[in-house]
Amino acid sequence: MSRVELLSPKVDFVFKRIFGTEENKDVLAHFLNSVFEDSGEPLIADVEILNPFLEKEALSDKLAVLDVKARTESGTLINVEVQLWNNQDMENRTLYYWAKLFQSQLKEGDSYYALQKAVTINVVDFRYIETEVRNSFFSFNNYPK
């Protein structure tokens, strides 16, 4: 009897197929609700999968491609990233992607009140931050309301 070898969900391509496709958006919603429930955030009923590219505004800008980019029915923007190796840049990388996601919402003339919450979730395969530090460092819960 042959054994079927499954691909690891930690591999970018597999992760994106599981969580970042329209046909699996219910899987993403369940995952997000699991994370949100643990952090005291309101649960979601639906999620829209978005184009993962955060477009460049100038030729010299760095192109950002998110693993999974989505929007909840309340307008919250979500970025879910998987990272297997600690390249010693997680804080900067996370803040850069979050800031690009947040800033991408406004066009010229838009009111800052139109901004919706932006959330980044990192799924890492290495020890990164102890719990007490993580809870204080990644506390974006109060901005924006």
Q: How does 48-59 read in b/e, with b if 16+ C-beta sit within 10 Å?
A: ebbeeebeeeee
- Give yes or no for residue 135 having a pLDDT over 80: no
Phi/psi-derived region of residue 23, left when phi > 0, alpha when psi is between -120 and 50, beta in every other case: alpha
φ, ψ for residue 98, nearest 5 deg = -60, -45
User: Are the C-beta atoms of residues 79 and 69 closer than 8 Å to each other?
Assistant: yes
What pLDDT is recorded for position 142?
A: 37
Q: Where are the domains of the chain?
A: 12-105+113-137
Distance from C-alpha of 133 to C-alpha of 95, rounded to nearest angstrom: 16
CB 20 within 8 A of CB 49: yes
pLDDT tens, residue by residue, 74-92: 999 999 999 888 888 888 8
pTM of structure: 0.80
pLDDT digits (tens, 9 = 90+) for 23-72: 999 999 999 999 999 888 899 999 999 999 988 888 998 888 999 999 99
Cα 108 to Cα 32, 101, 102: the distances in Å are: 31, 16, 15
